[in-house]
Amino acid sequence: MQFIQQSDESEVRVLTLARGKANAMNLPMIEELIEAIREGERDDRVRALLFASARLGFFSAGFDVEEVFSYDLPTMRHFFGRFMHLYELALHTPKPTVGAISGHAYAGGAFLALAFDLRIMAEGEFGFALNEINFGAVLPRSLRLALINTVGSREATRMILSGDSVKPPRALQTGLADEVVPQEQTLSIALAHAHRMAQKPATAFAFSKRALQRDAGYLDASEQHEPLDEFLAQWFSPECAERRRSLVASLKAKSSAA
């Protein structure tokens, strides 16, 4: 794989995001993550999945803005559909999932992190943000539901409508983080949690995880999931298109000046 590194720590499969400085996601990276999760599910020796980053300071900045923001409607429908498939695969996998969030997690990076059973975050001036409203985009219902189930309705409302990033102390207070630890210890502590969860009886863990998700209002993995029409209609609205153009121009200007 080009963008995902895989290694085994005893019964824990470690999937490490490794695409450039900020792990910005494009379609090939998403496809690699999908395949890596499927491989982990198929391998009976793997009893837990740990998601990490090769880059200290970033878990993932989200989607590759310069690439993804240029997609036409059919391409964007396919891309975001595959991303939502990745999110649902990570959410519904019967095996325990732990995220070593060793830096910023924005937009698509935050979406992916919401799918994990546990999130271990690094101390520091890092942000966790669902900032789509800032460039005129909207969140599909399944992602709104995930945030509500994680932090509660009031905090989810604040995060979505403001688009502001949440710092690690606030993340711990609201339940977005299960633990906040020194940055250099993020991976080792997340791995310890993954080993602990891997010792749970697999059948009971899978049943309980699935039942809790149903109780929380999630669709089952076998059910038909929401269409993306509302998301795409807003994505290609004049308002969002103009905000996206401005963001890309700003990023290119910063890159040229660097």
pLDDT one-digit tens code per residue, 222-250:
777 778 999 999 999 999 999 999 888 88
DSSP codes, 180-245: EE-GGGHHHHHHHHHHHHHTS-HHHHHHHHHHHHHHTTPPPTTSPPPPSHHHHHHHTSHHHHHHHH
pLDDT of residue 211: 96
In DSSP terms, which residues pair with 11 in a beta bridge? none
pLDDT of residue 258: 60
Residue 210 placed within a domain: no
Q: State the CATH number of the domain containing residue 14.
A: 3.90.226.10
Residue 77 placed within a domain: yes
| Distant-in-sequence, close-in-space partners of 63: CB < 8 Å, separation ≥ 6 | 24, 25, 26, 69, 83, 107, 108
Give the residue among 178, 59, 180 at the shortest CA–CA distance from 122: 180
Angle at 3 between CA 213 and CA 33, to 5 degrees: 20
Strand, coil or helix: what is 10? coil
Residue 213 placed within a domain: no
Residue 64 placed within a domain: yes
pTM of the full structure: 0.95
Name the domain count of the chain.
Answer: 1
Place of tokens 């271990």: 120
Residue 139 placed within a domain: yes
Residue 238 placed within a domain: no
